[in-house]
Amino acid sequence: MSSSQDSSDWTRVVRKGRKNRRSNTVSHSSRHVKPQTEGLRTPEDLENDYKQHRKRWEDEAYSCPRLRELVKAKASHLTEIDKAVHLGVGTFDPNDGLNLDGKRSTFAQLAAFEIMVEELEKITGGKIETFFQDPAFSASDKQFLENIGHTVLEDPKGTQMVDAKTLFFGVHLYRPIYNDALEGELPALFVGTSYEDWGDIFADEHIENVERMHKSYERCGFPQERLDCAFSTTSIYWKPKPEGDGDVKGKGKGIVIEEVEIEDEDEKEGSDGEEEQELVKKLEATTIN
């Protein structure tokens, strides 16, 4: 990152009323980071690392299964999501080679993103296209993401894609990036720093669109393991169900039509004819004195 101290470039996220948390966290969106060009690991190596990290994260006792449960419970009405945009995840191959916490957090965020998409595809019944944007991506990062089925975009294309049919996933980003991405239509689902976690110092600075979403959406904390900073100060926001949905039978916007057996007219006419003939026979057999 740049060493600039300009307040518009750096942010501090302050969590209120929580114990055992760092009092502030520097945003790690990679707006000023130049991609690494030397000593790159191969995309295949990164993919192998990711598989190991994802398996480890999925095996945790709380975070992964809880995230799946939350998506099923809170997003069951979001049937129109057709794309997912992940901004600012960072490089998967830090150049110091020793930043294990940073690498683990980056892979954990990728795993969480993919798991949310998997659960949402069960809800929508269709394919959700996935997009990544980060100026810090090296050539290996980009190829790795493309190899596992994602599309990598150049800045600011990803930021401009967010609309009402989007899962917008961005953990620990700069305030202006959140604000720019939320400038138009608010996304169906958002994962990132909540409005409350910015603290009073940034109440009116570059987060007015986050505030707009905060006032109209439902929210819960992102599930995480204790002492794990990968998702610190991170919340999930989702568009609430339209009023009256509880009165409709079925799931989502579908209406269940109850099946009623209706007697076929031809069969009915045939049945009436047989009864009429039987009545005639009985009358003919009757002797009138």
Question: Do 63 and 225 meet the contact criterion of CB atoms below 8 Å apart?
Answer: yes
**Per-residue pLDDT tens digits of the chain, which is 289 residues long:** 433 334 333 333 333 433 333 333 333 444 567 888 888 999 999 999 999 999 988 887 689 999 999 999 999 999 999 999 999 999 999 876 546 677 889 999 999 999 999 999 999 999 999 999 999 999 999 999 999 999 999 999 999 999 999 999 999 998 899 999 999 999 999 999 999 888 665 555 678 899 999 999 999 999 988 777 889 999 999 999 987 665 433 333 322 223 233 334 444 444 455 554 554 454 444 333 3
Instruction: For residues 138 and 54, give the distance between their C-alpha atoms in angstroms, rounded to a whole number.
Output: 21
List strand residue ranges (DSSP E) for 134-247, in order.
151-152, 166-169, 189-193, 218-221, 234-238
**In angstroms, how far apart are the furthest CA atoms of the chain?**
121
What token pair was written down for 67? Answer: 């995230």
What token pair was written down for 161? Answer: 């894609």
- The sheet carrying 218-221 orders its strands as 151-152, 129-133, 83-87, 166-169, 189-193, 234-238, 218-221
pLDDT in tens, 119-175: 999 999 999 999 999 999 999 999 999 999 999 999 999 999 999 999 999 999 988
Question: How far is the CA of 101 from the CAs of 94, 108, 201, 236, in angstroms?
Answer: 11, 10, 29, 23
SS3 state at 84: strand
Give, as one character, the DSSP assignment of residue 195: G
200 Cβ neighbours under 8 A, 6+ residues apart: none
Instruction: Residue 109: count other Cβ atoms within 10 Å of its Cβ.
Output: 23
Question: How far is the CA of 104 from the CAs of 49, 52, 55, 149, 252, in angstroms?
Answer: 10, 10, 12, 21, 36
Q: What is the CA angle 177-182-188, rounded to 5?
A: 130
The number of helix segments (H) and strand segments (E) in the chain equals 8, 9
- Per DSSP, the residues of 123-143 read HHSS--EEEEE-TT--HHHHH
What token pair was written down for 123? Answer: 């809800």
The model's pTM is: 0.73
